[in-house]
Structure 1
Amino acid sequence: MSSDDVAPAAQERPDPAAAAAEAVAKARAAARRAAARAEALRAEHEAKASTDDADAPPGVTSTWDGSAVVVRDDDALEPPGTVRDVVELPSPAQVAREALNRAKAAARERGLRPGMPRKRADFTVRSGPGRDGRDPQLFGSTMSALLRERGWEEEVSVGGAIGRWREVVGDEIADHCTPEHFEDHVLHVRASSTAWATQLKLLTPQLLTRLAAELGEGVVSEVRVQGPVGRSFSRGQRSVKGRGPRDTWG
């Protein structure tokens, strides 16, 4: 799906913040119209009252409904007031505030949240001519990143050297020496006989040099040579421990 297909779909969804703002604007416009209508009504009543009082005979004044009232001479006639003195009208600010509160309440009933910042649509381009982290990656680069992240590079490199043991140390040593395991920069090897175990201990510096050239300096810091494991003669309930493996069993 392209970004052109995504844009119309994103525009069709109603924006809660925009709807709330539109409702608030309509409420404010209604409040302004109500205030203007109240002022016009007040001016109309004041003009009508002044005209009726001017045309009425002395001692007679008119009421708001147009009827005449006779005022005695001993009654003190109060000066004419405004519509606001007779009818208590709310101020324009109060009308606007009440309309705004009604608009916010209506927006909350529709599930909107007035006052929240408008969320922009995400039009981030996820593909293009350049490389992206979401693009398919090569298996080799992915495995290298995984080994580097988990700290398995040394173990994997030593495992590769053990798999190519004959190529690394040569045929003669490989025929009489077998690597067993690698731990804490120490490579444990097993000799085929005690004579070869002694010989390999003398060849340890050469083995370290070859391993450093193959794996890098410091990967294998020590080579521990172990002698052969002889057959066990412990049979039955009563047995005597032997002298251990000798060259005879190598």
Structure 2
Amino acid sequence: MSDDAEIPETMSTYLRLRGLEPSPYRKKKRRRRADDGENAPFSPGRDPRGLGDVISALTQSAGWEPQLSREDLVRTWDQVAGADTAAHTRPVALENGTLTVQADSTAWAKQLQFMRAQILSEILRRFPEAGVEAIRFVGPDVPSWKWGPRAVPGRGPRDTYG
């Protein structure tokens, strides 16, 4: 008698499904996967990495570095420009490599023009991926005489000022 005859059919089916007894249908040899070295134990790159390293690799591979650098520049403007300067200024735009900084007054804007090289070198040192090549300082937004419900075409009410 064979071993299958001694074991009840339900038990042999159970053992065959659990993989404990070879199935007559599995005569083919299993194909071994090629060892590509990536999944081999103790190979380089298999050590666990910190979360910061994983996120850094993700941002670099996705191409997010320039945008995140620009966001960090705006977020840490008080450290880049100094606390006193940051209290009177704020970055408002970054287009074509030119950072536009708006000041509280025209006096602050003029003073910052003299400090342009120092601030730009600090930005390039801290955030080289941001793409800042130049800085433009502007004064505060002033109300316009040209818009509104009572706007007059031409010079308007200012023509009698002088």
Output the TM-score relative to the length of structure 2. Answer: 0.61
Distance 1:196 1:173, change over 3 A: same
Q: CA deviation at 1:167?
A: 1.5
Calculate percent identity across the aligned residue pairs: 29
**In structure 2, what is the Cα distance between the partners aligned to 1:154 and 1:173?**
25
Instruction: Report the AA paired with residue 58 of structure 2.
Output: L
SS at 1:211 equivalent: helix
Match for 1:9 among 19, 24, 43?
19
Q: 1:215 is matched with which residue?
A: 127
Distance 1:240 1:193, change over 3 A: farther
Q: 1:155 is matched with which residue?
A: 67
Distance 1:122 1:10, change over 3 A: farther
- In 1, are the aligned partners of 2:66 and 2:130 still within 8 Å (CA)? no
Match for 1:164 among 73, 76, 81?
76
1:187 equivalenced with 2:94 (yes/no): no
- In 2, are the aligned partners of 1:190 and 1:227 still within 8 Å (CA)? yes
CA RMSD in angstroms, aligned pairs only: 3.9
Instruction: Report the AA paired with residue 60 of structure 2.
Output: R
The Cα offsets for residues 126-163 of structure 1, whole Å up to 9 and x where unpaired, read as 68566776x97543222211211122213212321321
1:173 equivalenced with 2:85 (yes/no): yes
- In 2, are the aligned partners of 1:10 and 1:121 still within 8 Å (CA)? no
Output the TM-score relative to the length of structure 1. Answer: 0.42
SS at 2:101 equivalent: strand
Q: CA deviation at 1:195?
A: 2.1
**In structure 1, what is the Cα distance between the partners aligned to 2:66 and 2:75?**
14
Match for 1:120 among 31, 40, 48?
31
Q: CA deviation at 1:208?
A: 0.7
Q: CA deviation at 1:205?
A: 1.0
Tell me which structure has the larger Cα radius of gyration: 1
- In 1, are the aligned partners of 2:69 and 2:130 still within 8 Å (CA)? no
SS at 2:94 equivalent: strand
**In structure 1, what is the Cα distance between the partners aligned to 2:66 and 2:110?**
28
Q: How does 1:81-120 map to 2 (within 5 A)?
A: 119-120=30-31
- In 2, are the aligned partners of 1:186 and 1:223 still within 8 Å (CA)? yes
Q: CA deviation at 1:175?
A: 2.0
- In 2, are the aligned partners of 1:191 and 1:197 still within 8 Å (CA)? yes
Aligned length: 134
1:205 equivalenced with 2:117 (yes/no): yes
**Contiguous gaps of at least 5 residues in structure 1:** 1-7, 19-117, 244-250
**In structure 1, what is the Cα distance between the partners aligned to 2:127 and 2:45?**
33
Q: CA deviation at 1:166?
A: 1.1
Distance 1:132 1:197, change over 3 A: closer
Instruction: Report the AA paired with residue 228 of structure 1.
Output: P
- In 1, are the aligned partners of 2:97 and 2:133 still within 8 Å (CA)? yes
